[in-house]
Structure 1
Amino acid sequence: MAALALLEDIANRRIRREREFRDQTDLLAHDDDWLMSRFRLPKAILLELCTELGPALQRETVRNHGLPVPLQVRTTLGFLKTGAFQRELADQSGISQPSLSRAMPAVWNGIIRMSPRYIRFPFTVGEKRAKQAFWAKYGFPGVLGAIDCTHVQLRPPSENTLIYINRKGTHSINIQVICDATCKITHVFVNYPGSNRDSFILANSAIPAIFEGNPPLDGWLLGDNSYPLKTWLMTPFIMPATENAI
Structure 2
Amino acid sequence: MAAHLMYIINARALKRERVFRDRTNPFDLYDDNKMYKRYRFTRAGMMYVLNILVPELDQRRQTLRSHAVNSRLQVFIALRFYGSGSVYTSGSDHHGVSESTVCRVIKVVTDTLVELRDDHIVWPTTDEEIAAKQAELPREFYALICSFPRVIGAVDCTHVRLDSCPYGENEHVYVNRKGFHSINIQLISDAKYHIINVVARWPGSTHDSRIIQNSDIGQAYQRGSWMEEDYTAKTSVYI
Q: What range is the shorter-chain TM-score in?
A: 0.7 to 0.9
Q: d(CA) in 2 for partners of 1:149 and 1:208?
A: 14
Residue type of the partner of 2:134?
Answer: E
Q: d(CA) in 2 for partners of 1:117 and 1:158?
A: 31
CA contact (8 A) 2:150 2:237 kept: no
- Select 2:94's aligned residue among 79, 92, 95: 92
Residue type of the partner of 2:136?
Answer: R
What's the counterpart of residue 33 of structure 1? 33
Q: How many residues are treated as equivalent by the alignment?
A: 213
What's the counterpart of residue 144 of structure 1? 152
The percentage of counterpart residues that share the same residue type is: 31
**CA gap 1:51/1:233 in 2 versus in 1, 3 angstroms:** closer
- Select 1:176's aligned residue among 176, 183, 186: 186
Residue type of the partner of 1:54?
Answer: V
**CA gap 1:95/1:27 in 2 versus in 1, 3 angstroms:** same
> What pairs up with 1:55-134 in 2 under 5 angstroms?
55-58=55-58, 59-122=61-124, 123-134=130-141
- The offset of 1:187, in angstroms, is 1.1
Is 1:154 the counterpart of 2:154? The answer is no
TM-score, length of structure 2 as denominator length: 0.78
**CA gap 1:232/1:164 in 2 versus in 1, 3 angstroms:** farther
- Select 2:227's aligned residue among 218, 222, 242: 218
Q: d(CA) in 1 for partners of 2:88 and 2:14?
A: 24
Q: d(CA) in 1 for partners of 2:86 and 2:184?
A: 21
- The offset of 1:121, in angstroms, is 2.5
- Select 2:196's aligned residue among 182, 186, 205: 186
CA contact (8 A) 2:153 2:238 kept: no
Q: Deviations over 1:84-103 (max 9, x none)?
A: 11133212211111211111
Q: d(CA) in 2 for partners of 1:51 and 1:149?
A: 29
